[in-house]
Chains A and B, each alone.
Chain A
Amino acid sequence: MKRLAILLTIFLVAGCGWSGSDATGRGGKGTIEYWLWDSAQEPGYQKCADAFAAQNPGLTIHISQYGWDVYWQKLTAGFIAGTAPDVFTDHLAKFAQFADLKVLRPLDSLGPTSDLNDGDYQAGLAQLWKGQDGNRYGSPKDWDTIALFYNPASLSAAGVDPSTLSDLTWNPIDGGTFEKTVAHLTVDVNGVRGDQPGFDKTHVKRYGFGSDGGGGGWGQTQWSAFTGSAGWQATDRNPWGTHFNLDQPAFQQTLSWYFGLVRKGYMPTFQEIGGNNPIGPDKQIQSGMAAMALSGSWMLSTFSNLTDAAGKKLNIGIAPTPIGPTGKRASMFNGLADSITTLSKQPENAANWVRFLSGADCQNIIGRSGVVFPARPEGTQLAIDFNRDSRRLDVTPFTDQVTQKTTFLFPVTTNAADITALMIPRMDAVYLGDAPVSSLTTLNDQLNRLFEVAR
């Protein structure tokens, strides 16, 4: 018996693997807990918090920042343990699930946020944050698009005129002028360029085109600009699609060409970027590993603060995404919003803060700091001005996508967590070359089954 008891103890210790999250220190009465994930945005929002506190005596904002990877896990743990913040920065990919889990408070039900006006924001942004039940779960704070960042020094070394980048075209057959440019920008260790005879694709010094991974999050900074300009949509309708389109030829041909750039030695491999702990496109360009790479407008301040090996400021240029088979360019259009949790013990105060965050005062503060494009057009213009005057950066490759209506929306669906968990390994397998692009048809079936399984 004793032996059995000892054994049982060992097994039960074995059974209890995961333990505890550290509880967030919650402020006293009148302190609103606010979470965000982008450290670059924290100083700007601290200014908003200070302005809010000045206007609302007795109320203070405590901001906590956690990196993207742990942010959502901490938030989930916070919902379970009752330590979630009053207000948090929410993402389109996630809010539907949280709304289903009933941890978000409809903003319409709270006085200060009951009369948010869709027309105050860039067209289409505010509507995205309405759930299938018609309630509003987020107040728009910013928006983002995708563009091509490049190192002008790498371009001039290859004799490529930066102005030609805005006319690049691509197609899934031969890659068009985009692939020609990428090939020419690629240099192997012997100094042979990717479009020259004798190019050694297994020993590349600088890739023409950087990589941000397999694109398990709908390829936002990876392949979405290509699939989008090939006319492909991830779901039958958006938001709240009921069927996925990963089995369509337009998608699979585009991805076959896109990941083919890896096989040709024009884009770094999964291993080279560090697998699931990747070095981002910013560091790839900074280190000279890549000449150009796609990234989002939220990375503007990161890119503009890059330095070279000598510690000098690195010159950076921005070009629009290439024009695709549809004859147009395309960019995913995503937006963030602030959501209020049902765990908040002071929802009216929280709603006041959210109203302030989505108001002109705060969004103009954010616009003047140039970190992101605020959701209000006036704030957007301030951000454009700041980048032009202070950073000498022309950010119109990002904003033109909106004014020229070449954007498509981030796919908003239910079951976001399952979609991500299923997509990431399958996209990585294609990136690695372990699985053919046609394997994504199986993934598509799995994703479609998620709609059938009542949760």
Chain B
Amino acid sequence: MAVDIPTRRRAKPKDDTRLALLFIAPALLGFLVFMIWPALRGIYLSFTKFNLLTPPSFTGFDNYVRMVQDPVFWNALKVTVYYVAVNIAVQTVVALVIAVLMQRLTRRTWLRGIVLTPYLVSNVVAALVFLWILDYQLGIANKLIAATGLDRIAFLTDSTWVIPTIALINVWRHVGYTALLIFAGLQTIPETLYEAARVDGAGEITMFRRITVPLLRPIMALVLIITVVGSFQVFDTVAITTRGGPVDSSRVLQYYIYDMAFGRFQFGYASAMSVALLIVLVVITFVQYRLTRASSSDLA
């Protein structure tokens, strides 16, 4: 018997489960307390009438029925999707160009630093600065436009201009960060591929189309998932520059939810709309994940 013991030990791999659990416990605790519990409570509150100060009362699907019939909700969803489309399309293209330029043309750290600078400015400050730059009467942008003899543009106070303007303000702030993520992805593409292509006589544009873009796909997929989820949550820029106006033309979903909860004391209905936003994001992210095959690479 005494002989068997070491053999058996060797045969059975060491069980790390307990140690692993110990290590992930702090993160798991935070995840449960700050993510799962609020999410579950939010879902519960979406079935109640709750004004934050007196106990909630259960109302079944009333909030969801109201949501389906609420034109402001549907408008908010439409406005949000419009915002995301403009924001992500412009941001991704510009970020990709900046990243490739950083990769192919320069290696200077300070230049990469400059690209990231807008990201270091807080959303609120960026929004305030642009609010002044774009002001109809006093803004320097409109002073320049007027100086060239053109009519002033009501960037943030005209229903046509407001969403593209807010989207571009946020592109300005986030594009450097997105470019840096893509740039990190570019670093993973072996230099040898470009050398081989160059030997075969390929130019920069061909190499970009045939090598960079295909091999960047998993990184681009990740970047898109992160930026789309982030973009859907636009709030601070709207709160500072337009407060949802003019009329409802920049009343994005997050701002409507916030106003409903903390301005109008209708926390139950606000929770129902939050759940709707959660579902929208889950669906979009799942579809993105599938379409872009984010977890596999063509590099192998």
Contacts and interface: CB of A to CB of B under 8 A. Distances in A.
Interface size, A (range):
35 or more
A10 B226 CA distance: 8
Contacts of B295: 3
A7 B51 contact: no
B150 to A, nearest CB: 13
Nearest to A21: B262
A14 B246 contact: no
B137 A421 contact: no
A274 B137 contact: yes
A12 B136 contact: no
Contact of B264 (A3, A18, A418, A426): A418
Nearest to B153: A271
Nearest to A279: B137
B288 to A, nearest CB: 10
B281 A14 contact: yes
A173 interface: no
Interface in A375-418: 417-418
Contact of A101 (B53, B135, B241): B53
Given A16-B35, A434-B247, A102 B131 contact: no
Contact of B262 (A77, A103, A455): A77
A285 to B, nearest CB: 14
B51 A455 contact: yes
B229 interface: yes
A12 B41 CA distance: 12
B89 interface: no
B177 interface: no
Nearest to B289: A7
A10 B284 CA distance: 12
A272 B282 CA distance: 41
B32 to A, nearest CB: 11
Contacts of A120: none
B225 to A, nearest CB: 7
B265 A11 contact: no
Contact of B229 (A14, A16, A73, A426): A14
B48 interface: no
B78 to A, nearest CB: 15
B154 A17 contact: no
B135 A421 contact: no
Contact of B259 (A7, A15, A274, A421): A421
Contact of B39 (A15, A72, A421): A15
Interface in B233-252: 233, 235, 241-248, 251
Contacts of B251: 425
Interface in A127-161: none
A contact patch SS: helix
Contact of A276 (B31, B242, B265): B242
Contacts of A10: 225-226, 229, 285
A280 to B, nearest CB: 13
A36 to B, nearest CB: 20
Interface in B109-141: 131, 135-137
B37 to A, nearest CB: 10
A274 B277 CA distance: 31
Contacts of A424: 245
A27 interface: no
Given A14-B233, A15-B42, A428 B265 contact: no
B274 A15 contact: yes
Interface string A431-444: 01011000000000
Interface string B247-261: 110010010011101
Contacts, number: 128
A102 B51 contact: no
Contacts of A12: 35-36, 39
A117 interface: no
Given A3-B295, A428-B247, A275 B157 contact: yes
Interface string B134-168: 01110000000000000000101111000000000
A276 B245 contact: yes
Contacts of B277: 14-15
Contacts of B242: 275-277
Could you say which of A77, A276, A420 has the most chain B C-beta atoms within 10 Å of its C-beta? A276
A309 interface: no
Contact of A275 (B225, B246, B289): B246
B264 A274 contact: no
Contacts of B262: 18, 73, 76-77
A14 B226 CA distance: 10
A15 B278 contact: yes
Contact of B241 (A9, A97, A272, A277): A277
Interface string B35-72: 11011001000000101111000000000000000000
A310 interface: no
A7 B285 contact: yes
B74 interface: no
21 contacts: A7-B286, A7-B289, A11-B282, A13-B229, A14-B233, A15-B281, A17-B233, A72-B263, A101-B54, A102-B53, A271-B154, A271-B157, A275-B157, A276-B243, A276-B244, A289-B137, A417-B263, A424-B245, A428-B246, A432-B159, A434-B247
Given A15-B274, A16-B38, A17-B233, 15 more contacts: A3-B295, A12-B39, A14-B229, A16-B35, A17-B274, A18-B262, A76-B262, A79-B53, A101-B54, A103-B53, A274-B136, A277-B241, A425-B244, A425-B245, A428-B247
Interface of A: 3, 7, 9-18, 72-73, 76-77, 79-80, 97, 101-103, 270-272, 274-277, 279, 289, 417-418, 420-421, 424-426, 428-429, 432, 434-435, 455
Listed from nearest, the 9 A-B pairs whose CB atoms lie closest are A275-B157, A271-B154, A12-B35, A276-B245, A271-B157, A276-B243, A429-B247, A417-B264, A425-B247
Interface of B: 31, 34-36, 38-39, 42, 49, 51-54, 131, 135-137, 154, 156-159, 225-226, 229, 232-233, 235, 241-248, 251, 254, 257-259, 261-265, 274, 277-278, 281-282, 285-286, 289, 295
